[in-house]
Every structure is written in C-alpha cells, then in structure tokens.
C-alpha cells in the first residue's frame, strides 16, 4: 500500500498491521500529516496541527512495539480531538477568540487515556464556538463538508466530522451535549457515538452544559468507534459526574447475534412535516435490513420526547450562560455575535421556566426509560435533513440554522441528551444530491454494546461505510 493511501485504512486494519510490524506508526502519522497539509486550508478541520508531537509519539510507539511492548488497538494510531479538550502546552481555544491565548498546564483525562493507549495526537479540531452551535463567524475558518464543500459539516463537532470523513485522522473525539457528535456524523457520513452520561470523564474539558455534556468517538466504522470508546471509558475521581460502571470489552461483544432484539420506531419522529422524504425513506429501508437480520420492529409513540427541543434549549443555554457570565460581562466583543446573543438571551430566562423545563426533562427521561423496558433500542433519523448549504446554515439570524435545522433537529437529537442515554449515528444512505444520511439508535443506560452490535450488523450488511468523499 502506498503512503498516499494509508489514510484509507480503518483503525482496526491499521492496528493489526502495526501490531504485526507490517506498518510503521511513523509512516502512518506522516501520511495523515501530508493529507492535512494538502486539504486543511480548504476544509478548515484543524485549528492546531501538532506535527512534531505526533511524529515523536509515533516514533516512541514504533520503538516500543519493536521491543514487544504493544499496548493495544490504538497503539501508533493517529487521532485528533475537538478543541475544547485540554492539552498540556497546546492551545485549547474552544473555537473562540475568548480563549485565543489559553494554553493549559495539564492534559484532560481523555488525553491521558489516549496517551496511555499509545495513540499519536495529530492536533486540535475546529468547532462551533464553545460547542454551543450556530456560530455565524468561525474565527478559525468555517469547517466544510468534504462531500460538498459548499455544505455545512454540522455543529458543534464539525471539525471532528470533517477530519474523520476526509481522512485527516484515523478517528477523532467530539463532544455531544444536544447532538454535537450525532449531527456532524450524520452530515459527514461517519459513525458517531454519544455515550451514556458519565461513561466518559469530562475532566479538563471546557463545558457547555455540565448536566448533559458527553465526550464521544467519531470514526469511519462501528468497530473503530468501539475501539476508541474502550480507550477512554471509565470512572474518574476528578470528575464527580463520571460513573464507575464496569466497562465491557466492546469489540469482543461486537459480533454477538442481534437476532431476537426488538426496536421501537417513534411514530412522531417519522411523521414530522420537516422530515425530508429521502431521509425518512433511507431510515425506513435501514430498519427493513435490520428486520432481515432478525431484529423485530414496532411502531410506538414518544409524545413528550418529540417536543424536547424547547426543553433542551431552556436548560442547556441557561447553564452555559452561567459558565460564561464573567466573560460576557468583561469581554463581550470577543464572542461571535450569534453566540453572544444566544447566551445573553438565556440570562433573561425566568427561574420558573427553568424549573418547568427540568420537570419536563424528567417526564422525557421516564418516557424513554419506559419505552426501553419494552425495546432493546429506539431507532429514528439522526437529523431530519441532510447537510444544508453553509450560507443557509450560518448566514443570518433567523435563517436555516436558527429555524428549521435548529428546532427541527432538536426533536431528534435532544431526547437522548435530556435522558442521559447513549445514542449512535451510523450512515444509512445518500440523498439524490450525494449528501450522507444517518440513522440514530438510542439505547438503555450503559448499553453501548447493544448499540454497537446493531449498528455493526447493519454496517456489515450494507456498503455505505465504504464510500469516501472525493477530496
């Protein structure tokens, strides 16, 4: 295999070759760095490229493996992380001018765990400002969808979606508060997991909403997603919200049969007027494929969850505004005006509305958990639309993003977030214009293995994951 095509290897494929010393970690890291050099100016996936550090880690991995010290599937694998994840001595900007000079003196726990797994860190990835989403002016450039660079990569983990899809990293980490892993994954044609709240530590991560923030892997295949989650999952005494729930061997459980599983299809999520017909058809076809693999499906209803968008915003924006209160007061001009407007508006939210939203959140959580007592998983679209044009997504207040995309997508992405449940987006087709479509699978608390099993079985029965953008 030529150096120029090494980026096409999955993590699972590359790790096997590295383990057997048929592939040099240094050669692999250099192949990705060359591709970043060639494409990032156009795609704006990276804010900071850590070439020297990545190659040093690759050289260390190569020497260690040669001496018999192979650590596991991420050893020598080039990865990248969203730029809200703190990295020692490297800019952590949050995608904002507010943190343009922020160079932490410590690593976040997930970086420590990636380092412990022997991964090579290629750099820090672009995002919507402070992971809030809806950024109009990206100070580090607007990430562009590699399937069509005139189209949005989504938010807020846009750089992570672009880098994974375009082969600028073998795998990436994003964050998902209300859909920020699942949305870009759907738009960019990759696999993205929002883990159960507490499954992955947030220590050293710039918060958006402490009650709902999660860190999740974004990869080209389900197996790669499982391998990355394995490396970062588990409790952390430095994060009181993290869970000590045992972490299973996700890759080992991946091949277990899905025959006999039951999934629920929320009627509301397939009947909304703003659901594109091509998206609806693709997800319904995917459910048919799962049926052929032995998964039973039933139509069901989630009436409260279907109205979750306003509930999410009422909670998340208020919490976020609280974190930003000092900077909003002292440095308002350093925020993108759309971010500042959203946060300042949240400061005017009455306490009674916030309390009502929390009560509604509990109703949504109970509704979903009751449904998951009857079903092994719930399936719905990852997003009601394919990726919009960048000009429509970010061009003006009250435009596409603030209107249909924002409120529409929240119906689909907020339920799992409000309930703290795991959810995975997996490619399930393309629109007539060649843009990816994603299927979302929501599971029980800490049942990531079940989501991986369903998504992997579907992936192996189709070829969507083998397609690559022509960049």
- Judge: domain 3-466, CATH 3.90.1300.10: yes
Q: Is the separation of the CB atoms in 437 and 386 below 8 Å?
A: yes
Pairwise CA distance, residues 461 & 192, whole Å: 19
Domain-by-domain residue ranges, the chain?
Answer: 3-466
pLDDT of 50-78, one tens digit each? 999 999 999 999 999 999 999 999 999 99
Burial class (CB in 10 A: 0-12, 13-18, 19+), 240: exposed
pLDDT of 163-212, one tens digit each? 999 999 999 999 999 999 999 999 999 999 999 999 999 999 999 999 99
- Which residues are designated catalytic? 82, 156, 180
Render the burial of 299-315: b for 16+ CB within 10 Å, e for the rest.
eeebebbbbbbebbbbb
Percentage of the chain with pLDDT > 90?
91
pLDDT of 81-138, one tens digit each? 999 999 999 999 999 999 999 999 999 999 999 999 999 999 999 999 999 977 777 8
Q: Which residues pair with 174 in a beta bridge?
A: 216
Q: Which residues pair with 87 in a beta bridge?
A: 90
Q: Looking at residue 399, what is its pLDDT?
A: 41
pLDDT of 336-352, one tens digit each? 988 999 999 999 999 99
Pairwise CA distance, residues 102 & 124, whole Å: 13
């Amino acid at each position: 295999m030529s150096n120029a095509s090494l980026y096409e290897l999955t993590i699972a494929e590359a790790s096997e070759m590295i383990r057997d010393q048929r592939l040099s970690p240094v050669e692999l890291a250099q192949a990705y760095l060359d591709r970043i050099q060639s494409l990032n100016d156009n795609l704006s996936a990276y804010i900071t490229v850590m070439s020297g550090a990545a190659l040093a880690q690759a050289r260390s991995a190569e020497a260690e493996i040669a001496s018999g010290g192979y650590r596991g599937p991420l050893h020598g694998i080039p990865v990248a992380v969203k730029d809200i994840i703190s990295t020692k001595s490297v800019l952590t900007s949050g995608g904002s001018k507010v943190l343009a000079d922020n160079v932490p003196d410590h690593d976040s726990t997930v970086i420590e765990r990636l380092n412990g797994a022997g991964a090579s860190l290629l750099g820090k990835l672009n995002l919507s400002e402070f992971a809030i989403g809806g950024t109009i002016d990206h100070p580090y450039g607007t990430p562009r969808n590699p399937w069509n660079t005139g189209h949005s990569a989504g938010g807020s983990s846009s750089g992570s979606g672009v880098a994974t899809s375009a082969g600028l990293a073998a795998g990436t980490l994003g964050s998902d508060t209300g859909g920020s892993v699942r949305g870009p994954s759907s738009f960019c044609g990759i696999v993205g997991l929002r883990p159960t709240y507490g499954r992955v530590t947030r220590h050293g991560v710039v918060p958006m909403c402490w009650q709902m923030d999660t860190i999740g892997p974004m990869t080209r295949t389900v197996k790669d997603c499982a391998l990355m989650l394995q490396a970062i999952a588990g409790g952390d005494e430095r994060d009181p919200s993290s869970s000590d729930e045992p972490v299973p061997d996700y890759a080992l459980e991946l091949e277990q049969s899905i025959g006999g599983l039951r999934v629920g299809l929320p009627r509301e999520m397939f009947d909304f007027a703003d659901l594109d017909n091509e998206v609806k058809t693709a997800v319904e076809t995917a459910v048919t494929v799962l049926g052929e693999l032995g998964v039973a499906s039933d139509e069901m209803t989630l009436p409260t969850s279907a109205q979750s968008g306003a509930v999410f915003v009422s909670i998340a924006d208020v919490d976020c505004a609280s974190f930003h209160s000092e900077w909003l007061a002292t440095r308002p001009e350093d925020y993108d005006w759309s971010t500042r407007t959203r946060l300042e508006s949240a400061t005017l939210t009455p306490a009674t509305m916030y309390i009502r939203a929390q009560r509604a959140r509990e109703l949504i959580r109970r509704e979903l958990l009751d449904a998951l007592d009857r079903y092994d998983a719930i399936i719905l679209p990852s997003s009601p639309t394919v990726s919009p044009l960048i000009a429509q997504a970010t061009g003006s207040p009250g435009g596409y993003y603030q209107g249909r995309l924002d409120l529409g997508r929240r119906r689909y992405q907020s339920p799992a977030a409000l309930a703290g449940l795991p959810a995975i987006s997996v490619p399930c087709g393309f629109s007539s214009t060649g843009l990816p479509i994603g299927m979302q699978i929501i599971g029980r608390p800490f049942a990531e293995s079940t989501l991986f099993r369903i998504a992997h079985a579907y992936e192996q029965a189709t070829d969507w994951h083998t397609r690559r953008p022509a960049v």
